[in-house]
Amino acid sequence: MAALAKIKNMSMLSGSSKTSTPRGVATPGGDSTPGKSTVATPRKGSTLSLLADAQVDASEDATPRGSVSDSNDVLAKTAVRKCEEFPLTPEEVHASKFIKMKKIGKGAIGIVYMARLKEEADGEEVDSSKRPKLYAIKVVTKDEMVKKNKVARVMTEREVLATTSHPFVVKMYASFQTNNKLFYCMELMAGGEFYRMLQALPEKRMNEQDARFYTSEVTSALEYLHACGFVYRDLKPENVLVRADGHLALSDFDLSKQAVAQSAQVVEKKKGFFGKKNNNGSRLDMLNIVNAGPVFEGDAKSFVGTAEYLSPEVISGEQQTAAVDWWTLGVLMYEMIFGVTPFRGDVQDVTFANIISKELKFPADIPVSKECKELLKKLLTRDAKKRLGSNGGSSEIKSHKWFAETNWGLLREQVPPIVPGMELPANWTQMKVTMDKLDATEGSGQATEGTNAFTDFNATTTA
């Protein structure tokens, strides 16, 4: 009863309990602002998606090509080493190096554009037979982030992107800032949101075998983030993006939280019923390397995430652990296989109440293996301390029988069940609006160096 009373109080803070977007609850701040929550935007959450509905406004395309104002001078920047994927040196990184092609997304902390590298000189014809180098560039207005108390979220996302490198995490090539804008230059995820892929499938779901493949890639990404000391806290199909080759990558890390990474431990394997050793009797074959989830040093009780994916401990305001990510993995896996999330209600209050107390059920008309059901039950265990992954981290999940045929080391080499490919806009050679012209005309408010809340935005150089 106490938990349900707390749910009601949270709904009052969020606005009306009845909402057309019960998936979208997130706090505007970090853990220093417990209880402050708002209803977020509908299920169009990807900021890097080519398939996003948003288009570039005519007023943006008509941006005058005047001289660049002093407000667009780069104050600080970092970048990966010059390579084939990103053929600019850190010194060359600037908004004027990119040509905006179209607006592809808008998230809580910025607008994202598909952009190509400006490789030709002014007035020179573009070779339409040559595939351009394409990127997703997120543009964040400093003044807006300060007013909305989202500075910490911006800095968190940039920290995650700058310090991680994994096949299933979106790659950032560079970040830089002007007086009034922040820029992230990232890889373009040509397949768009995983959510949209799911919605395009018959009955908005996939078979168990395909779901196993995608669950494996997401598990690997979460395992890596935990090893780096980050708890993701906002897993959902909208934040999982698809490359042109069909492989997945996590994005949108503004709700992530830094924790203390824990070292893996060596433990003895459990003996069988008769206590038998394996065939060769080797002591080494009786040992397992077990991962441990990162540990929060202080309070971690923020009401953050997306309504249908919130774990019971988040709703109840209890201390959170890395196990919140394993709960969301269970919800994602369930949605992939059954086409719906397991606890969704008609209104937000009902969704929260279901998460706290409703029995987990499986649709009778969709047959799945007993191993699949068992894994879902273990991931969706309400007691975080008993949830699969809470003690042995990702090792507990990867060793589950449902993944018996999964080759974890070769996931990236496998052909995904769905390969979306990549299509360029037909008129890409005519798209000439440069990013710096956008910066000169969009937004307002010019921060001075003394009041720049983003001084450390470029403090960490990417690998």
Q: Which residues are catalytic?
A: 234
Picking from 110, 158, 317, 335, the residue whose alpha carbon sits closest to that of residue 236 is 335
Phi, psi for 142 (deg, rounded to 5): -60, -50
247: helix, strand or coil: coil
Q: Letter for the amino acid at 328?
A: T
Question: If 0-12 CB within 10 Å is exposed, 13-18 middle and 19+ buried, where does residue 55 land?
Answer: exposed
How many Cβ atoms sit within 10 Å of the Cβ of residue 115? Answer: 28
- 3-state class of 113 per DSSP? strand
The total number of residues written for the chain in this structure: 463
Q: Are 380 and 334 in contact (CB under 8 A)?
A: yes
Contact 179, 232 (CB under 8 A): no
**Residues facing 340 on adjacent strands:** none
DSSP 178-246: -SSEEEEEEE-BTTEEHHHHHHHSGGG---HHHHHHHHHHHHHHHHHHHHTTEE----SGGGEEE-TTS
- The 10 Å Cβ neighbour count of residue 310 is 25
